[in-house]
Structure 1
């Protein structure tokens, strides 16, 4: 899996490819661990601000 090169291919397609592949090939137990893997692909996962719907959502 290579790095995402923004502007060279459509970002949505590139991010979809990374997000589909990472969970199948890597085990992680926190957002920080996930980001270690994603950083290799030039991608970062973010929960958003403290008042955002995503940040406040419960599993």
Structure 2
């Protein structure tokens, strides 16, 4: 995980959520380049943590 962007209190939850969403996308993502897989995973993690912050802040 890109620790500079994800607070440690949310890191495990973000990784788990990203893994669930990624695995739900099907076998097609197995054949994309590793760099693209990492980019997608990071985007999912950042989105998940942003949503957690919004919920916490009442947004």
Alignment TM-score > 0.5, same fold: no
Q: Tell me which interval the TM-score lies in, with the shorter structure as reference length.
A: 0.3 to 0.5
- TM-score between both structures, scaled by the size of structure 2: 0.41
Higher helix share: 2
TM-score (norm 1): 0.41
